[in-house]
Amino acid sequence: MSKTIEKLKASRYYGLILLCAMLLFFYGIFKILTPSNFGSLSNLYTYLQSSIIYSVGGCGLYFIVVMGLFDFAVGANIVLSSIVGVILAQKYGYAGFIVGCLGCGTLIGFLIGMLYNSLNVPSMIVTVGLMLIFESIAVYVAGGVKQTLPENLRFFSGAPGNIILAGLAFLLMYFILNYTKIGTYCNAIGSNEFVAKNMGIDVKKYKLIGFMLLHFFVGIMAILTVSYGTTMTALTGMSTMSRNFQPLMGTFFGVAFRKYKMPIIAIIVGEFIITIIFNGFVALGAPTTVQNIVTGGALLAIVSLTARGAKGSVVK
Partner 1 sequence: MSDKVLLVAEHIDKRFGITHAVNDVSLTINAGEIRALIGENGSGKSTFSQMLCGIYTIGGGTFTLDGKELHCRNQVEANNEGVAIIVQEMGTLSGLTVAENIFLGHEEPFMHMGVKDTRAMNKAAQRLLNEYGFERVKASDMIDLYNFEDRKLVEIVKATYMKPKILVVDETTTALSQNGRYELYKIMDAIRADGRSVIFISHDLGEVLTHTDTISVLRDGEYIATVQTKDMTEDDLKRLMVGREIGTAYYRTDYGETISGEVVVSVKNVNVPGEIHDVSFELHRGEILGFGGLSECGMHEVGKAIFGASWDRTGSVTLADGTQINDIPTAIKHSIAYASKNRDVESIIINESIRNNIVLPSLDDLADHGLLNNKKLTAFADKYAAEMQTKMQNVNQFVSDLSGGNKQKVVLARWIGKGSDILVLDSPTRGIDVKVKQAIYGLMADLRKQGKSIIMISEEIPELLGMADRILVMKDGRINGEFLRDPNLSEEDLIAKMV
Contact set with partner 1 (CB under 8 A) = 7, 10, 66, 175, 178-181, 184, 187-188, 190-192, 195-201, 258-259, 261, 310-312
Q: 256, 279, 253: which is closest to 26 by C-alpha?
A: 279
Comparing CB distances to partner 1, the nearer of 18 and 224 is 18
- The C-alpha atoms of residue 109 and residue 208 are separated, in whole angstroms, by 8
Query: Is residue 244 within 8 Å of residue 222, measured between CB atoms?
Result: no
- The C-alpha atoms of residue 208 and residue 293 are separated, in whole angstroms, by 35
- End-to-end Cα spacing for the chain: 34
Query: Is residue 60 within 8 Å of residue 247, measured between CB atoms?
Result: yes
CB of 7: closest distance to partner 1 in angstroms?
8
Comparing CB distances to partner 1, the nearer of 84 and 189 is 189
Comparing CB distances to partner 1, the nearer of 130 and 177 is 177
CB of 49: closest distance to partner 1 in angstroms?
31
CB of 263: closest distance to partner 1 in angstroms?
10
CB of 188: closest distance to partner 1 in angstroms?
5
CB of 264: closest distance to partner 1 in angstroms?
15
Comparing CB distances to partner 1, the nearer of 92 and 175 is 175
Question: Helix (H, G, I), strand (E, B), or coil: what is residue 144?
Answer: coil
Q: 207, 220, 137, 135: which is closest to 171 by C-alpha?
A: 220
Comparing CB distances to partner 1, the nearer of 151 and 179 is 179
Q: 260, 211, 214: which is closest to 58 by C-alpha?
A: 214
CB of 169: closest distance to partner 1 in angstroms?
18
- The C-alpha atoms of residue 56 and residue 187 are separated, in whole angstroms, by 19
Sequence letter at residue 304 = S
Comparing CB distances to partner 1, the nearer of 145 and 171 is 171
The CA–CA distances, whole Å, from 107 to 81, 209, 216 equal: 10, 11, 8
